[in-house]
Amino acid sequence: MSAVLTRDGAIATLTLGTDENRFTLPFIDEVNARIDEVLADEEPTALIVTGSGKFFSNGLDVEYLGANPDKLGWYITEVQKIFVRLLTLPVPTVAAVNGHAYGAGAMVALSCDYRVMRADRGFFCLPEVNVGLPFTPGMAALCQGRMTPQAASATMPSGQRYGGADCVRLLIVDAAAPEAEVLSTAKGFVEPLVGKNRDTLGTIKNGMYSSIVPLLLAGLG
């Protein structure tokens, strides 16, 4: 299933898909198109980013990278542009992490203003050390800028996976909820913020992440 955008009043929900939601080239195009739709809608809104089923997103398309090593730099930059778009999106954003969020999928969640994770199943994991793919300068800046030093130390060098309760303890996510309540809990974080001036919010976010965005846009550096 493709990434789809639905609306409930002033709140939009971007559902990444129903499979592993890896960053294939079509997936990248779909997510960018859905973000374009949010930006084209003049009504002040908020955005929930979620998946469906077992996965939020399992990250990079390792099969594509294995078959196209010459495209690594270009591909990583295209993925990181999505992080930038979410970081600086001029509406409040929340990740409703319904299942596994690995690697770039975890970074999508970190790129949102808030994070709610399923409490009983699913893991947050930055497995780069396990797969021999070091963090780019932009990815490192994103993870360190959006997590506490303790959480960064627990996740980035270890490749260890953490469930909802541990992610709350480490302050990686703002809340954990039963599966049936992940979306409603996520909505509760952004619903009070609907109506914020987009120009002002966009300027604030660009200022907040001014040290991260250039590194992400630089790709592998």
The pLDDT of 45-64, averaged and rounded, is 95
Domain boundaries, the chain: 4-217
Q: At what angle do helices 137-146 and 104-111 cross, to 10 degrees?
A: 50
115 vs 44, residue with greater confidence: 115
Burial letters 62-78, b for 16+ CB under 10 A, else e:
eeeeeeeeeeeeebbbb
Instruction: Give the burial class of 136: count Cβ atoms within 10 A of its Cβ; 0-12 exposed, 13-18 middle, 19 or more buried.
Output: buried
Separation CA 219–CA 68 (nearest Å): 16
Quickly state the pLDDT bin for 221 (edges 50, 70, 90).
low
Separation CA 126–CA 104 (nearest Å): 8
Of all residues in the chain, the percent with pLDDT exceeding 70 is 99
Summary mean pLDDT of the chain? 96
pLDDT of res. 53: 87
Is the predicted pLDDT of residue 219 greater than 60, yes or no? yes
Among 209, 153, 147, 154, CA closest to 172: 147
Give alpha helix (H) positions in the chain: 25-40, 62-67, 72-87, 104-111, 128-131, 137-146, 149-155, 164-169, 182-190, 198-208, 213-217
pLDDT of res. 199: 95
Q: What is the pTM of this model?
A: 0.96
Tokens of 47: 């955005």
Q: Enumerate helices (H) and strands (E) in the chain, giving the number of each.
A: 11, 10
Give tens-digit pLDDT for 174-206: 999 999 999 999 999 999 999 999 999 999 999
Is the predicted pLDDT of residue 1 greater than 60, yes or no? no
Give me the residue label for tokens 């099969």. 63
Give tens-digit pLDDT for 92-141: 999 999 999 999 999 999 999 999 999 999 999 999 999 998 999 999 99
pLDDT of res. 44: 72
Question: Has domain 4-217 been given CATH number 3.90.226.10?
Answer: yes
pLDDT of res. 16: 97
